[in-house]
A and B are shown apart, each in its own frame.
Chain A
Amino acid sequence: MYRPRDHRVIAGVASGIARHLSIPVTAVRVALVVLLGFNGLGLLLYAVFWAVLPQQAPTGEPKPRRDLVLLLPFGAIGLGVILLEGLLFGDDKGVAGTAGWLVAVIAVGAGVIWHQSDPTRRGHWGDSQAPWLAAVVAESDRRSFLFRFIGGGVLVAVGVIGVFAVYGPKNNLVIVLNGVIFALVGLLGVGVVVAPLLWRTFSQLRSEREGRIREQERAEVAAMIHDQVLHTLALIQRNSADIKEVQRLARGQERSLRNWLYKPAASPTERFGAALEQAAAEVEDTYAISVETVVVGDTQCDERVAALVAAAREALVNAARHAGVQTVSLYAEVEDEELSVFVRDRGAGFDLTAVADTRHGVRGSIIGRMQRHGGKAVIRSSPGDGTEVRLTLPASPMSVTAAKENAR
């Protein structure tokens, strides 16, 4: 049952009822006019149907300012009630007039609550042309939703209490209490009417949100696979003859997938562990070796820690270039008083004393850098047995000065 948009004189109530009951429109209109004689019952009925019946779904262009038209029924109910009051209590204007207004307030409040609880109608109101109205009635967030319900409830309650207060003898507290009780009963009734609709609305919202989140996750995974995995696989197919290149691509892709799957993202400029892993990844990519990275504990990065990472990177590069092995171990441990990093390979090895003074890799980038920042670098290497570079750095700058003093 609905109000049609086409065959209507005022709001389409009569034709709506006629279509629903399959009787001529004229009969309904005559009946309404006749009912008008009985204390304006016809007008009241018309107003009630106007407020309660949904309008037929729009077929063409949505009409502007539909929002105001939709508000009209509540006003009409209120006016009808006042009219009724006037007819019934025409001789006692003072009290009856006030009571009429209060009943009108109740009617409009209940109407607003009823209207807001219907999700399809709310949608219509939301995309109407009046932004201020949308701000009040549109279901933008839960707070405004609650606000509207509380507001409507207060209107109903005030109206009911007011009726009792006006009709009862002056200064009688019992009457006001009765009013409060009946107001609560009224609110309860409205609640019973509205609860299922509310529940449906909220569960609809929830499932919508869940669906959106799922869709987002899926899109993220798809983007990741497209951007990285598929491109890497395509490159591998094109370079299948070049084993080194294939290994390099596969290793890089494995690393990035692993990071994506298992590791919380950390910025290499902020965390020690992330910085080390990034350095290891760069060496892996540049020199086509694999770096077995193990980091125990983690700490914030500062200038000194960055120097430690840079020294470790240099040690990794040396191992990659000179040791002639496929795998290098990188182990780092964060302890309360000290950071330590070990870079070890099982490759060619070298004699530290035999390195010419003109070569700066080891002396400048590793040993010198660690000393400048209050740390220590020890290199153990013997030809044929591989090399291990041990880097240690005191944890706090306090102990840096201590270490420098000890060194003097």
Chain B
Amino acid sequence: MTEPTADEGRRLTVFLVDDHAMFRAGVRAELGAHVDVVGEASSVAEAVSRIAATMPDVVLLDVHMPDGGGRAVLEAMRRSHPQVKFLALSVSDAAEDVIGLIRAGARGYVTKTISPDELAAAIKRVADGDAVFSPRLAGFVLDAFAARPDVPVADPELDQLTNREREVLRLLARGYAYKEIAKELFISIKTVETHVSNVLRKLQMSNRYELSRWAADRRLV
């Protein structure tokens, strides 16, 4: 994506939540050229109080932490601070972690093997209100929604993806970038972003029935 925000006169502010000090230091060093890292936290309690104090644009959130993990931070912050965007940055790409964080309200999910430039681009995209979908995440979503299209659900409009959204997800999962998807489907990049955001919204608002069935099918519960 494009170089973030230098031309807008204000650099994005980013907050790091991770229980590994080494990793925080590494990310801070890598991102220093692109964004302002305004704070760090190593635990859920610390993160909740310091995020409220610093009010960053984007919070980079680890999934697994000793005292509850990224999900606890999200649940504590979502309602009181809706303007703060959360991007999950985890070493785990297990389905239950990814879908769990997205359902709790994260705007995207990337793994820690991501390159610094890609991470900066993802932060920018999340700050602009878009979703960040890795091919793997798109695959999980397709798996969760598309595997059983014939099963009746309580609220079909909410729970099912449209054909177009599914098409966009498939191309994402095949490793296409947003602009390549736009070219492939003869739509604008903005439309692609809308579709992806809709998928994210549906994922967050899916009813509990769907979630529990999804989890039970994969023997997660």
Q: Which residues of A contact B (CB under 8 A)?
A: 254, 258, 261-262, 264, 292, 294-297, 329, 331, 333, 342, 344, 346, 388
Contacts and interface: CB of A to CB of B under 8 A. Distances in A.
Nearest to B218: A264
A262 B135 contact: no
Contacts of A292: 135-136, 175
A331 B143 contact: no
Interface in B137-169: 138-139, 142-143, 146-147
A262 B142 CA distance: 19
Contacts of B92: 262
Given A294-B139, A296-B147, A333-B170, 16 more contacts: A254-B113, A258-B93, A294-B138, A296-B139, A296-B142, A296-B143, A296-B173, A329-B135, A329-B174, A329-B175, A331-B170, A331-B174, A333-B142, A342-B174, A342-B175, A344-B176
A294 B175 CA distance: 10
A34 to B, nearest CB: 74
B25 interface: no
B52 interface: no
B163 to A, nearest CB: 13
28 contacts: A254-B113, A261-B94, A262-B92, A264-B219, A292-B135, A292-B136, A294-B135, A294-B138, A294-B173, A295-B139, A296-B142, A296-B143, A296-B146, A296-B147, A297-B143, A297-B147, A329-B174, A329-B175, A331-B139, A331-B173, A331-B174, A331-B175, A333-B142, A333-B173, A342-B175, A344-B175, A344-B176, A388-B174
Q: Interface extent on B, as a size class? A: 10 to 19
Contacts of B113: 254
B216 to A, nearest CB: 14
A261 B136 CA distance: 17
A297 B147 CA distance: 7
A294 B94 contact: no
A344 B174 contact: yes
Contacts of B176: 344
Contacts of B146: 296
A333 B219 CA distance: 21
B78 to A, nearest CB: 26
Given A329-B175, A342-B174, A262 B139 contact: no
Interface string B59-101: 0000000000000000000000000000000001110000000
Among A295, A296, A297, A329, max chain B CB count under 10 A is at A296
Contacts of A342: 174-175
A331 B136 CA distance: 9
Nearest to A294: B139
**The 8 residue pairs across chains A and B that have the minimum distance between CB atoms:** A329-B175, A294-B139, A262-B94, A331-B174, A342-B174, A296-B142, A344-B175, A294-B173
Q: Taking each of B92, B113, B138, B143, which has the highest tally of chain A beta carbons within 10 Å of its own beta carbon?
A: B143
Nearest to B92: A262
A323 B113 CA distance: 22
Contacts of A329: 135, 174-175
B208 to A, nearest CB: 23
B166 to A, nearest CB: 10
Nearest to A254: B113
A292 B147 CA distance: 21
A22 B136 CA distance: 81
B114 to A, nearest CB: 11
A85 B181 CA distance: 101
A264 B218 CA distance: 10
Q: Which of B92, B113, B136, B174 is the most central at the interface, judged by chain A CB atoms within 10 Å of its CB?
A: B174
Contacts of B94: 261-262
B147 A331 contact: no
Contacts of B135: 292, 294, 329, 331
Contacts of A346: 175
Contacts of B138: 294
A339 to B, nearest CB: 14
Contacts of B143: 296-297
A106 B88 CA distance: 72
B188 to A, nearest CB: 20
Interface string B31-53: 00000000000000000000000
B178 to A, nearest CB: 14
A261 B95 CA distance: 12
Interface string B93-122: 110000000000000000001000000000
Contacts of A333: 142, 170, 173
A261 B146 CA distance: 26
A193 B42 CA distance: 56
A295 B142 CA distance: 10
Contacts of A258: 93
B91 to A, nearest CB: 9
Contacts of B147: 296-297
Interface in B169-205: 170, 173-176
Nearest to A342: B174
A262 B64 CA distance: 14
B171 to A, nearest CB: 9
Nearest to B97: A262
Contacts of A294: 135-136, 138-139, 173
A388 B183 CA distance: 15
Contacts of B93: 258
A297 B145 CA distance: 11
A15 to B, nearest CB: 61
A200 B173 CA distance: 57
